[in-house]
Structure 1
Amino acid sequence: MNQLVTKKPEHETIYLRVKEMILFGEVVPGQPVTIHGLAESIGTGVTPAREAIRRLTAEGALVTRENRRIEVPEMTAHRLQQIELVRLTVEPALAQMAEKHCKKSNVAELERLDAQVDAAIQIGDVRGYLEANYRFHFYLYGLADAQILRRIAETLWLRIGPSLRVVCGRYGTANLVDHHRAATQALRNGDAVATQEAIAEDIRQGMEFVRQTAVNEHASSDPIDTN
């Protein structure tokens, strides 16, 4: 296939790079983000950096404060409560739907991704853990063939990712546990309900870590409307 046809436009590539920086905790809550600083750090022009910031602000991953400062929002109890409510509605449903389409090869891939999670935990690789954990969940959710729900889940992960980085910084990866193995075993058994329950418990556990570690009771939760 012609490489020119398959190559992503620069602005899309930059957007995905900045998105991953937020998802995997390279930008921490409360940290300001500037167009020029971002462009310099990832080696791109001002225009694609500005477009990436605009899109991620629209998705709630970044906020604009009253002084026009752009930053990753700090987590508040109220915001966390809303994120948890929607995650526990959407993601277990995606997991249950995924079971209907899951083949043995898909389970094997999930087990491979979970092994990457475990390896990152073992060596204390925080970014590697966050990325592998994300890849595990969204490979599973992709099997559901439910793009609207998957898109909602993606937006929620953008909002919680930086706080998960704070959790890892506080507890260390050695103290992290998950319910991935229960989920993959349930998929091997063809048990949609058990798959759903395993993912729901995985979410509850992660959100409780965030509640104990990363919630800032004094942070402003109301960005201004820049539209």
Structure 2
Amino acid sequence: MSTVIPLPKLQPVVRNSMSEQVYRQLRDGLMSGRFTPGQKLTIRGLAEALGSSPMPVREALQRLQAENAFDMSDSSRLRVATLTVDQLREVRDARVALEGLLAERAALHVTSEDKSVFLDLYKRIQTAVDTDDQPGYLWNNFAFHRRIYQTANARLILSVVENFWLLMGPCFALVAPDHAHLQRSMDAHTRILEALATGDGAAARAAVTDDIMQAATSLERLLLRRHHTDKSRTALKRASKI
């Protein structure tokens, strides 16, 4: 019997441009790790959580499915996409190239106002780590990186990166309970912040690359461990039927 994973807390939306608001909130929720890989979703459940009618939710889910954010389960129900190890490595390499470029560009465009925002988000992430606030860490980590990349003034590149986040965001929820991983990530965030403060594009790229690689390494270990566990369970079930 599968475990029912509760939905994350969602904010009710107003009725103007309802479909777009539903889409944006679900998209941000996926990118920031508020859903988990393989989590099954229903239109009714999401509509109730959002304070929406089913139609805008259905439209939003169709858009997100077209962006590869969802798989179709055996029972024809939508579920949050799950990455294979090969897919994780492919996304990792693309993120290193594109997010590294965005960080480098951001260092050349950063303003005093940007630095203040970066520092505030950095402090929020640190507080979340110190208090073991996993949802707070995931959201503020997402906001920190997106704010930095927005500063790069490269909207086309950012839109591609966000498509990768749709796949990676739910995976981040799997490593958030690992306090050692979060501390390593904070070290990278500290170097990102310092590089942006001094306008050092090469250092910003290097620190972002390190952050991505560390997360990908932790996720790869976890996915491989889960794969081996699933294979063992399947073998046991087959053996029990003999």
TM-score range, shorter chain: 0.7 to 0.9
- Tell me if the contact between 1:125 and 1:173 (Cα under 8 Å) persists in the aligned partners: no
Task: Determine the structure 1 residue equivalent to 2:227.
Answer: 217
Distance in 2 between residues matched to 1:24 and 1:94, nearest whole Å = 19
- Aligned CA distance change for structure 1 residues 109 and 17 (closer, same or farther; 3 Å): same
Distance in 2 between residues matched to 1:174 and 1:147, nearest whole Å = 30
Task: Give the partner amino acid of 2:213.
Answer: R
Task: Determine the structure 2 residue equivalent to 1:181.
Answer: 190
3-state secondary structure, aligned to 1:74:
coil
Q: 2:134 aligned with 1:126, yes or no?
A: yes
Distance in 2 between residues matched to 1:124 and 1:47, nearest whole Å = 37
* Structure 1: gaps (5+ residues): 1-6, 220-227
3-state secondary structure, aligned to 2:38:
coil
- Aligned CA distance change for structure 1 residues 84 and 42 (closer, same or farther; 3 Å): same
Deviation for aligned residue 1:27: 2.3
Distance in 2 between residues matched to 1:102 and 1:59, nearest whole Å = 31
Distance in 1 between residues matched to 2:108 and 2:154, nearest whole Å = 12
Find the structure with the greater CA-based Rg.
Answer: 2
Instruction: Give the TM-score of the pair, scaled to structure 2.
Output: 0.81
- Aligned CA distance change for structure 1 residues 155 and 30 (closer, same or farther; 3 Å): same
Task: Determine the structure 2 residue equivalent to 1:152.
Answer: 160
CA RMSD of aligned residues (A): 2.0
Task: Give the partner amino acid of 1:209.
Answer: S
**Identity value in percent:** 29
**Does 1 or 2 have the higher relative contact order (CA < 8 Å, sep 6+)?**
1
1:104-157 Cα offsets, whole Å, 9 max, x none, are 321221111110100111111111101100111011100111111100111111
**Would you say how many aligned residue pairs link Structure 1 and Structure 2?**
212
Task: Give the partner amino acid of 2:162.
Answer: E
2:21 to 8, 13, 22: 13
1:193 to 189, 202, 215: 202
- Tell me if the contact between 2:89 and 2:216 (Cα under 8 Å) persists in the aligned partners: no
Deviation for aligned residue 1:174: 7.8
1:89 to 85, 93, 97: 97
Q: 2:177 aligned with 1:164, yes or no?
A: no
Distance in 2 between residues matched to 1:192 and 1:209, nearest whole Å = 26
Comparing 78-87 with 19-28, greater Cα deviation is found at 19-28
Task: Give the partner amino acid of 2:209.
Answer: A
Deviation for aligned residue 1:177: 2.5
Task: Give the partner amino acid of 2:211.
Answer: D
- Tell me if the contact between 2:107 and 2:201 (Cα under 8 Å) persists in the aligned partners: yes
Comparing 177-186 with 127-136, greater Cα deviation is found at 177-186
1:69-128 Cα offsets, whole Å, 9 max, x none, are 211122210110111011011000001111111123212211111101001111111111
- Tell me if the contact between 2:35 and 2:173 (Cα under 8 Å) persists in the aligned partners: no
Distance in 2 between residues matched to 1:34 and 1:173, nearest whole Å = 35
* Structure 2: gaps (5+ residues): 1-14, 231-242
Instruction: Give the TM-score of the pair, scaled to structure 1.
Output: 0.86
- Tell me if the contact between 1:121 and 1:173 (Cα under 8 Å) persists in the aligned partners: no
Comparing 35-44 with 143-152, greater Cα deviation is found at 35-44
- Tell me if the contact between 2:101 and 2:205 (Cα under 8 Å) persists in the aligned partners: yes
